[in-house]
Structure 1
Amino acid sequence: MTEEDAIETVIGRFGKYQNWIFFLITIGRLPAEYQLANVVFIIPNAEYVCNDEGANMTSNYCPCDNPVYDTSIMRSVSSDWNLICDRRQLASVAQSMLQVGILVGSLFYGFLSDRYGRKIATLLSLVTEVIFVAMSAAATELWMFVACRFLIGTGVGGTMLCCYVIIIELSGKSFRPYLTGLIEIAYIVGYISMPGIAYLLNDWRNMQLASSIPFAFTIFYYWLIPESPRWLITMGKKKEAVQLLTYISTKNNMPVDNIESMVDKAYEESQKERKHHYGSYLDLFRTPKLRTYTMITAFVWLCCSHSFFGINQYIGLLQGNIYINVVLSAATLIPAMIYVIFASLYMRRKAAIIASFVVTAASLLFFLVVPKSMESITLTLAIIGQTGAYTAFVQIYLFSCEIFPTIIRNSAMGFGSVFARFGGFIAPFVVNVGIEWVSISVFAIIALVAACLCFFLPETKDIVLLNTINQTEKLESPQKLANGIK
């Protein structure tokens, strides 16, 4: 018998109301997901012929003062601001600035969410994302675009973090394995539709406008999205928690008896030996177990991000039609999402994540020995590598949510995301190093390191989400809790 989740017994594992909130969150996340998927179109390695005297219209000739760009695929940031030759590294900077913004946004929104609530942090990240993406389309100088790219990243960081946590905390324990995959619907929709948008619009500014302005309706989410009842209870807002849980129970056709007594009991448990009213990043390092979990999960997040974003950008450099390559890459994430749900239901957390990293590393190592003339096989191996990194990245979100207690859950996720952004930041520079075997080897080794680190984390499958630091520290083994042993 697994320990009962009191919230689930009151509002159901995932009823009509949670489905409605999930739908709103999924639609609202699309502007952020487009920004994660569009880099191969808006900041690519520009193709051109050099019109300088003596260059004889040679393709990709350097140095070149008068390039003639191939805009048949896309008018891009790279072509608008001549990010070629000695300015090529500026393209990597522009790509990486999104990751810097995500880093800052993860820290800011992690603190905001734990201190002032999941709702305000979620709303702010969704609305500002729309504003910043639209602003980037109006940039007239490269530095303006780079600054907007950073601001876009802050919104992406908040959206990735806060939307995930609020959905997890509104759901019951028994439904969490399904959410691990379902929460990725927004990214898959954004990724798979991006090539179509790029093909139709053929201009990076129009793409930015099309992926932002239509989503301005997210400002009305203030009246549609609730606060997390788990956060309300932990913060001692018992009256608000009772009102919200009663409302959700009514919407889900669940009985509303004993909600107040359940909230009282949950609040008392959350206050036992509690020293702080608010969690902070310092709490991640105050106690032995949490300190260990924090450092390991942070580095695993780095490995996930570095591998996924690096391989994602590398696919854009492969031979063949870029639209088809990206669509195929995106399509493979659908079975990947199904695998994530299956793994969350039937596999141990650590085994599933380690398997994903091993698949990533193995496919990349095979990539190195396959002749480049076999384009379909190299593309397949690259896509398999990206899929493995993607499933690991998705699963580490749930794993981290289960490892850390409510009082510092968002702070822990934000801290892990900081390291993920560092991994994402250096990925474009590894891709653009110019020596293929070096780039691929780095991604493969990083994936293997992450697999090894996961062995040192606790198993958390089927546990009830813990609320306080003391609950985490006093627990002999999370797996014992999953088996109902105290």
Structure 2
Amino acid sequence: MELKLVLKLLADAAEAAAEAEAGDEAEITPIPKCQLADTLLQMLMLLCSAVASFHLSRWMLLILVLLLLCGAPVICFSNALQLCSSVHAAVEWAASLALSQNRFGSLVPQYEIAIYWWLHIFTPVYGEPGHDTTTSTFTFTSSTARYDQFVLEPQDTRDTFPATMADKTKDKPKETTPQPQPKPKPKYEPRPVEKTKDPIISQIGDFRRYQLFFFLIVVLCKFGTGWHTLAHIFLAAPTPLKCLTENVTDPCSKDCNQTEFDTSLFKTTIITEWNLICKDKSLASLSQSIVMLGIMIGGMSFGMIADRWGRRPAFLLCCFMQLITGLIVCLSKWYWFYCLFRFLVAVATGGTMTVSFVLLMEIIGPKKRELIGILYQIPFNIGHASLSLFAYYIREWRWFQFSVTIFSVVFVIYIWLVPESPRWLFTTGRVDKSVKILERIARHNRAPTDTIKAEMEAAYAVLASRQPAKKGNVTDLFRTPYMRLKTIAMANDWLVVCMVYYGTAQYIAKLGGDIFLNVLIAALLGIPGTLLCVVLTKYLGRKLTMMLSNGLSAIGLLLLVFLYKSSEIVQVSCATVGLFGASITFPNVYLYGAELFPTVVRSNGMGLCSMVGRIGGLLAPMINELDVYGSWITPLIFGVASVLAMLGTIVLPETRGTPLPETLEDGENFGRKSQKAQT
């Protein structure tokens, strides 16, 4: 029935529009005789009434109301008075529609209030004599905590309303006495936060719900660092080459006129793509050395960007740079193009490693900082292990690269979920922005928010009033004898662990047997190694744990030197022991180094050690290439280096449970007393 009426109104509206276009504008009289405006308005109301007869959600009903409010001004163009009157009629009708559907309780409160005030203010205006409009009174009741209902008392039913709507509104009772609103109860009871010297942790707590949530989302980027750093294992997987020339077995000899790759295991690799064989064989390892160089440069460059322009911009930049450059690698046509964009991927990966770790550590209190700092390395091990699964099902290097890169699309969520570091904002003088972020974190952590602004402003006033402490530089690490000795020993530990970990991971892929299973088992053992580091550093200390883990790597790799002619299982087992020891050492060097260097040169010391460590990673592929002269040479170099690292750790002091050194003088004297006590 309503549909027929709508079609009739459409025909009337079209006829009125045709008359207006014919130039008969004088016949269009002011309201209430504007046939076009009234007809279109009535048609719009009937259309909405037909749709509203179904069970609508609050948002659908809200869209209908907005449609009326926005549609009436468009279709009522005769004059300003008619425009206002038509909008008013639309609002009145929308209120009656919502009431008849018993839906006002489900509308957004702001729109309830808006309609209510529109009707109360403008009903007297548009109900004046001389205008054919409805003068209706709406009373607003608040019998519950929300604005639940409008009650309509029509004094003169306007014929532009659907009759069914007007009839339904006559029987509604009138409520005029407002009821007192109960005071809303808070959603949670704030839990007090322990006040410490750290103004940030004093507002949000040491490690609560938000820090856990932030850890779980930021840790996603750590999977990508493992994939891109060690993807070379399968991008340049061993691909046997054979000579098809009769009576010639060496495919690299001059007598061999035709060669063929064995593609039964891997259909394509970068070796088969650009014929990286014979004299060009070292170019495959060179591409991985370029990757390690990129990680080193990325860590330093994005670290400076994060200090200058903020952690969030630097973090987002390196995440999306990793995605874009990683996808471009899949399209490489030339070897130099491949190396260039693998280098850019590595730069982004190095930035992701550095900035994500800083972002996380700056909102976690000291009680859990040690544990989270070590657990943060586990996704790297999982990423390393999952490379075997990717390569097992994807045997073409371009699609393999695509599969480990496309995951970075997930980083889009960081745009909304990763805020700027409140600590960086605070130290750079942006206190207001820092307070806003801290208040949001505090609400998530169910911590009090009333005093955050006052306390942060007071803390910044104290910070600004301090005399800036003398800043150190890299040369201060070598200025005094004992500090110089400790710096060299710690840098050597970083050099060895990066060289042994990355080098052994690549070396296992070259051993016989199932390459997928070998890499998977060796990588998975890194997870218990990282977890074991948490226990050992807590109960045995940093120094003894470092010596034991380096010793374990040395034992496994030196055994491989004497057993290199043994079965494949024995060789892989020895190499896995060496890799397991390095997986314990890796998180320990981060923790040990941060506690060893004094505050004024801590960032310089860690930056120097990280750079030296990346040099070790850069050398690892080149050392692996020495197996052409003897398969025992590579494990010998790695094993001897582990022994030297173990011996060098002897000169380092234990840092577990000791106050951290602050000044250069503290750094020079730190550990001397314990050293004298031992002698």
Normalised to the residue count of structure 1, the TM-score between the two structures is 0.86
Amino acid at match of 1:144: F
Is 2:301 aligned against 1:301?
no
Measured in 2, the distance between the counterparts of 1:140 and 1:166 equals 37
Conserved 8 A contact 1:42-1:77: yes
CA distance in 2, matches of 1:256, 1:310: 50
Counterpart position of 1:134:
327
**CA shift for structure 1 position 263:** 6.9
- Aligned partner of residue 260 in structure 2, secondary structure: strand
Note the C-alpha offset of 1:283: 7.7
Query: In structure 2, what is the Cα distance between the partners aligned to 1:148 and 1:48?
Result: 27
Q: Which amino acid aligns with 1:161?
A: T
1:250 matched residue in structure 2: 443
Counterpart for residue 17 of structure 1: 210
* Structure 1 contact 304–420 (Cα < 8 Å) conserved: yes
Give the Å deviation of 1:471.
8.3
Structure 2 CA distance for partners of 1:421 and 1:60, relative to 1, 3 Å: farther
**Residues 48-106 of structure 1 deviation map (CA, whole Å, 9 limit, x = unaligned):** 21124542xx3765455532112233221011111111111111111211011112112
By how many angstroms is 1:256 displaced? 3.7
1:170 paired residue number: 363
How has the CA–CA distance of structure 1 residues 399 and 169 changed in structure 2, closer, same or farther, with 3 Å as cutoff? farther
* Contact kept? 2:297, 2:347, Cα under 8 Å: yes
Of 93-102 and 65-74, the range deviating more from structure 2 = 65-74
The yes-or-no answer on 1:70 pairing with 2:262 is yes
1:247-292 Cα offsets, whole Å, 9 max, x none, are: 222211223465443674477469744257xx89658659758776
Aligned to 2:633, which of 417, 438, 443?
A: 438
Question: How far did residue 398 of structure 1 move?
Answer: 2.5
Alpha-carbon contact 2:498-2:614 (below 8 Å) kept = yes
In structure 2, the partner of 1:241 is 434
What residue ranges of structure 1 are gaps of 5+ in the alignment?
481-486
Which residue of the partner structure matches residue 336 of structure 2?
Answer: 143
Does the C-alpha gap of structure 1 residues 62 and 106 become closer, same or farther in structure 2, counting only changes over 3 Å?
farther
State the match for 1:372 in structure 2.
Answer: 565
TM-superposed deviation, 1:298:
3.2
**Aligned CA distance change for structure 1 residues 409 and 242 (closer, same or farther; 3 Å):** farther
> Which residue is 1:88 aligned to?
281
Q: Identity across aligned pairs (percent)?
A: 29
| Distance change (3 Å), C-alpha of 1:456 and 1:268 | farther
Q: Deviations over 1:220-255 (max 9, x none)?
A: 413321333333344344333333333222211223
Per the alignment, residue 340 of structure 1 pairs with 533
- Matched with 1:454 is 649
* Structure 1 stretches of at least 4 aligned residues deviating more than 6 Å after TM superposition: 289-292, 405-408, 463-466
- For 1:5 and 1:358, the matched residues in 2 are separated by 40
Which one has more relative contact order, counting CA pairs under 8 Å at least 6 apart?
1
Greater Cα shift, 307-316 or 227-236: 227-236
Kindly indicate whether the alpha-carbon contact (under 8 Å) linking 1:14 and 1:172 is maintained by their aligned counterparts in 2: yes
- Secondary structure of the residue aligned to 1:68 is strand
Unaligned ranges ≥5, structure 2: 1-194, 674-679
C-alpha distance 245-376 of structure 1, shift in aligned 2 (>3 A): same
Would the aligned equivalents of 2:435 and 2:456 in 1 still touch at CA under 8 Å? Answer: no
Report the counterpart of residue 385 of structure 2 in structure 1.
192
State which drifts further: 116-125 or 397-406: 397-406
| RMSD between aligned residues | 3.2
CA deviation string 1:380-403 (max 9, x = no partner):
111110111122122212333344
Separation in 2, partners of 1:212, 1:60: 35
Matches within 5 A, 1:140-289: 140-256=333-449, 259=452, 260-261=454-455, 264-265=458-459, 268=462, 272-274=466-468
1:5-60: per-residue Cα shift (whole Å, max 9, x none)?
634443233222112221222223323221123222111333121124542xx376
Letter in 1 for 2:446: N
Q: Which of 204, 223, 231 pairs up with 1:38? A: 231
- From the CA coordinates, give the structure whose radius of gyration is larger: 2
Q: How many residues align?
A: 472
Q: Give the corresponding residue for 2:547.
A: 354
Residue 208 of structure 1: how far off its partner (Å) = 1.1
d(CA) in 2 for partners of 1:294, 1:263: 38
Residues 219 and 62 of structure 1: CA distance in aligned 2, closer, same or farther (over 3 Å)? farther
Shift of 1:108: 0.6
User: Per-residue displacement from partner, 1:290-314 (whole Å, max 9, x unpaired)?
Assistant: 7766554333221111111111111
Moved more, 321-330 or 177-186: 177-186
CA deviations on 1:184-231 (whole Å, 9 max, x unpaired) are 232122112111111111111001111112322424413321333333
